[in-house]
Amino acid sequence: MPDRSTKTTMGTEDMHERKVSVEPQDSHQDAQPRGMFHNIKFFVLCHSLLQLTQLMISGYLKSSISTVEKRFGLSSQISGLLAAFNEVGNVSLILFVSYFGSRVHRPRMIGYGGLLVATAGLLMALPHFISEPYRYDHGSSDNRSLDFEASLCLPTTMAPASVLSNGSCSSHTEAKHLTMVGIMFAAQTLLGIGAVPIQPFGISYIDDFAHDSNSPLYIGILFGITTMGPGLAYGLGSLMLRLYVDIDRMPEGGINLTPKDPRWVGAWWLGFLISSGLVVLASSPYFFFPREMPKEKHEFHFRRKVLASVASTASKGEDLSSQHEPLKKQAGLAQIAPDLTLVQFIKVFPRVLLRNLRHPIFLLVVLSQVCTSSMVAGMATFLPKFLERQFSITASFANMLLGCLTIPLVIVGIMMGGVLVKRLHLSPVQCSALCLLGSLLCLLFSVPLFFIGCSTHHIAGITQDLGAQPGPSLFPGCSEPCSCQSDDFNPVCDTSAYVEYTTPCHAGCTGRVVQEALGKSQVFYTNCSCVAGNGTVPAGSCESACSHLVLPFIVLFSLGAGLASITHTPSFMLILRGVKKEDKTLAVGMQFMLLRVLAWMPSPVIHGSAIDTTCVHWALTCGRRAVCRYYDHDLLRNRFIGLQFFFKTGSLVCFTLVLAILRQQSREASTRTTVKSSELQQL
C-alpha cells in the first residue's frame, strides 16, 4: 500500500497533468470564433427586446380599457377583472419556476413562453373579427341607414318599427356576447402563463454565464430597457384609438363620428396584432441559444476603471457584494431546488413562507409594497378612463399623457432610488427613512387632486340642475309627443343653457343638417322644442367646464407617482438585508407572489367596483346593465383619488413602523456593544 505522501505526490502529478491537458483546450476554444448565439451580450439584447414587447401586450389592454368597455358593454368591475386576469395564470405556475429552473432548456422555454404571449395577443384581437360591425346607435338594426330617423322626434305613428322595438335579445345574442368576453378572459390567462418563464429564466441564464462583475450591469440594462414597455404600450394605444374600430370594414358612406364623440370606439384590436408580431420576432432567436454557453471570461474595461476609482476599500467590498447578489441568489436557488423532489419542494415552501412572514421587517416591507402596487395597478388600469370622464378628453390624448409624462417620471423615480442607495451606501435604517420620505411626499402631492375637477353638467332626465340655468323644467313635456326610446344614445348639447340630452329626440328636434367646414362635417339638429326659441343644437356631449385643468392634474399625479417609485429599490434592499441568507431566494419569490395575489389581482377589481358605484346612468343591453353612460364626476373623483390616497397612507404607515423597529434594533445593538466593551475594560 503506498503511504500518504506517495498518494499526495501522485495526486499532485495527476492534477498537474490534467491542467496541462486542459489549458491548451481552453486556449484553443477561446481562439475559435463563436457565433452570436454563444454570446451573452447578444442574449441580453434579445431578452431586453422580448421583455419590452411582452410588457407592451400586457400594458396595451390597460391603455384601451374604456374602449373595450364601450365595444362589448362591460362594467368597470368586469373590465378590471379582465385586466387582472393574466395574474391568475401567472400565479398558478410562478412557484414551480424555482423548482424547474435548473432542469430545463431555459432559452427554449423562454421562446415557447414568448410564442404563448403572442398567441394570447392574437386571441385578444379575435373578438373583433368574429363579431358584427360596431353599431353606435342602439335604436336601429342598421345605424347607418336609420340613424337619421331613429334619433329624431317623430310621432308614434311615423316612427320606424325598429325604433319602437327594444331590439333582438335572443339567447343566441347573449351566448355570443358571453363567448366574446370568455375569449378575452382565456387570452388573459394564456398571457399570464406565457409570461411565467420569461423573466426568471432570463435573469438566471444571464447570471450563470456572464462575468461575475458584468452580471449586475447586464441585469440593470435589461430592466432599464424593459421599463419602457408600459410607456410604449400607452403610446401605441394613443395612436390606435385615433382610428375607427371598423377601419377594416368601413361602410360605404363613411361615419359621422369623431374621436370626441362619446360613442366613438377606436381600433383597440390593431395594437394587439402589432404587439403580437413584435413578440414573435423577439422570441425567434431563443430557439438557437444553447442550453449552456461558455462563461464570460472578461469584464468590461470601463467597469474596471470605475471600480478602481472607488475611494475606500470598504466601499469596494460593499459594491462587490451587491454585484454578486444576483449570483448568490441563483446559487441559493441551485442549492435548494435541485436537491429536492417536487413533493419535498412543495412541503418546504410553506415552512419558509411562514418563517419569513413572522419576520416583522419582511412582513411590513411586503405590506408597504402591496399598498404601493395596489395604487399603481389601479392607476395603470383606470387613470386614462378617469381623465376621459373628468376632463372630457379623448382616449387617445389620455393615453398620450400617461405614456409621455407619468410612466417616464416613474422610471426616473426608480432609477433615482437606486442611485441614492448605491452612491450614499445607505444602511437599512437610512433605506427605510428614504422610503418614508418618498411615501410622505407622494401623499402630500395627492391632497390637491381632490379639488382639481368639476361637477357633472346638467343632463336632462338624469341629473338634477343645481343652478338657476334654464333647462327642461322651463319646457315641461316638450318631448312627450315624441316616441323616444330610453335606451338610445346619440347625445346633443344645448350650449346656451349648458344642458345635454341623450338623443335629439329627447331635445324635441325634428330636423338635421350637416355643415362642411375645413374638410370636416359637423352635424346639427334643428327645430328643437326643448331648446329656447326652438333653436339648433350640435351633435356630441357638452364640453367639460374644467378641461383646462387636465395638465395641472396629470403633472401633480405624475410627480406623486415618481416620488412613490423612489421607494422601489430601497424597499427591495430592506428585504434582501432583513432575511436569512438561505431564505433570500425564496423570500424574493414570495415577495413577487404576494404582490400579485394581494395587489395586482384584486386592485383593478376594487378600483373598477368603486368607479361603478359613481354611475348615474347605465346603458341596458337585453335587460342587463352594460357600459356606464354618465358618472357623478365629484363622486368619481373623490372615490378614485380616495382609493389612491388610502393605499398611499397604508404604505406610509408600514414604512413608519419599519423605521421605528430598525431604530429600536439599532439602539439595542449599540447597547449590547457598549456593555461588552465595558465588561472587557473591567477584565
Mean pLDDT of the region 415-424:
85
- Contact yes or no for 68/81 (Cβ under 8 A): no
- Contact yes or no for 359/579 (Cβ under 8 A): yes
- Same structural domain, 254 and 358: no
pLDDT greater than 90 at residue 190: yes
- Same structural domain, 295 and 354: no
Tens of pLDDT, residue by residue over 8-67, are: 444 444 444 444 444 444 434 444 446 788 888 899 899 999 999 999 998 999 999 999
pLDDT greater than 60 at residue 378: yes
What are all long-range contacts of 414-419, with beta carbons under 8 Å and residues at least 24 apart? Answer: 414/227, 414/565, 414/566, 414/568, 414/569, 415/224, 416/566, 417/565, 417/566, 417/567, 417/568, 417/569, 417/570, 418/568, 418/569
Query: Can you give the CATH number for the domain in which 92 is found?
Result: 1.20.1250.20
- Same structural domain, 275 and 400: no
- Same structural domain, 102 and 250: yes
Cross-sheet strand order for the sheet of 492-494? 458-459, 499-501, 492-494
- Same structural domain, 40 and 176: yes
Residue 155 lies in a domain: no
pLDDT greater than 90 at residue 377: yes
Q: What is the pLDDT of residue 163?
A: 38
pLDDT greater than 50 at residue 610: yes
pLDDT greater than 90 at residue 446: yes
Phi, psi of 520 (to 5 degrees): -120, 145
Q: Minimal CA–CA distance to 503: which of 663, 178, 263?
A: 263
Mark which of 243, 275, 304 sits at the end of a domain: 304
Tens of pLDDT, residue by residue over 121-168, are: 999 999 999 988 888 764 333 334 344 455 677 654 444 443 334 445
- Same structural domain, 521 and 559: no
Q: What's the mean pLDDT when you consider all of the chain? A: 79
Q: What is the pLDDT of residue 674?
A: 79
Residues with Cβ within 8 Å of residue 8, at least 6 apart in sequence: none
Q: How far is C-alpha 458 from the chain's CA centre? A: 34
Tens of pLDDT, residue by residue over 231-262, are: 999 999 999 999 999 988 887 777 778 888 88
**Which of 315-324, 348-357, 509-518 has the largest mean confidence?**
509-518
Q: What is the pLDDT of residue 89?
A: 80
Instruction: Tell me the Cα Rg of the chain.
Output: 31
Mark which of 543, 569, 588 sits at the end of a domain: 543
Expressed as residue numbers, the domain containing 282 is 36-135+171-304
- Same structural domain, 539 and 549: no
Residue 315 lies in a domain: no
Calpha distance 450→445 (Å, rounded):
10
Tens of pLDDT, residue by residue over 258-278, are: 888 888 999 999 999 999 999
pLDDT greater than 70 at residue 7: no
Q: What is the pLDDT of residue 200?
A: 79
- Contact yes or no for 194/117 (Cβ under 8 A): yes
Calpha distance 648→670 (Å, rounded):
33
pLDDT greater than 90 at residue 286: yes
Percent of the chain with pLDDT over 90: 36
Mark which of 505, 520, 543 sits at the end of a domain: 543
Q: What is the pLDDT of residue 464?
A: 61
Residue 85 lies in a domain: yes
Q: What is the pLDDT of residue 201?
A: 84
Give the model's confidence band at 318: pLDDT under 50 very low, under 70 low, under 90 confident, else very high: very low
- Same structural domain, 130 and 251: yes
Q: What is the pLDDT of residue 336?
A: 46
Give the model's confidence band at 549: pLDDT under 50 very low, under 70 low, under 90 confident, else very high: very high
Mean pLDDT of the region 380-404:
93
Q: What is the pLDDT of residue 426?
A: 85
pLDDT greater than 90 at residue 341: no
- Same structural domain, 51 and 105: yes
pLDDT greater than 90 at residue 555: yes
Give the model's confidence band at 522: pLDDT under 50 very low, under 70 low, under 90 confident, else very high: confident
- Contact yes or no for 410/542 (Cβ under 8 A): no
More confident residue, 75 or 149: 75
- Same structural domain, 625 and 641: yes
Calpha distance 188→85 (Å, rounded):
6
Residue 5 lies in a domain: no
- Same structural domain, 263 and 273: yes
Tens of pLDDT, residue by residue over 112-123, are: 999 999 999 999
Q: Which helix (H) or strand (E) segment is 511 a member of? A: strand 511-517
Residue 622 lies in a domain: yes
Taking CA atoms, 12 is separated from 1, 5, 9, 219, 674, in Å, by 18, 10, 5, 40, 51
The three-state secondary structure class of 260 is coil
Calpha distance 521→555 (Å, rounded):
34
Q: What is the pLDDT of residue 390?
A: 92
pLDDT greater than 90 at residue 381: yes
Give the model's confidence band at 80: pLDDT under 50 very low, under 70 low, under 90 confident, else very high: very high
Residue 364 lies in a domain: yes
Tens of pLDDT, residue by residue over 455-497, are: 888 888 887 643 334 444 445 567 677 778 777 888 998 888 8
Percent of the chain with pLDDT over 70: 76
Task: Quote the cell numbers at residue 634.
Answer: 365629484
Q: What is the pLDDT of residue 83?
A: 92
- Same structural domain, 262 and 399: no
Tell me whether strands 458-459 and 499-501 are parallel, antiparallel or unpaired.
parallel
For the whole prediction, is pTM greater than 0.85? no
The HSE-up count of residue 22 (CA atoms within 13 Å, CB side) is 6
Domain count across the chain: 3
The HSE-up count of residue 584 (CA atoms within 13 Å, CB side) is 19
Tell me whether strands 492-494 and 499-501 are parallel, antiparallel or unpaired.
antiparallel
Residue 323 lies in a domain: no
Q: What is the pLDDT of residue 602?
A: 94
- Contact yes or no for 442/655 (Cβ under 8 A): no
Mean pLDDT of the region 414-424:
85
Calpha distance 234→240 (Å, rounded):
10
Q: What is the pLDDT of residue 648?
A: 95
Residue 13 lies in a domain: no
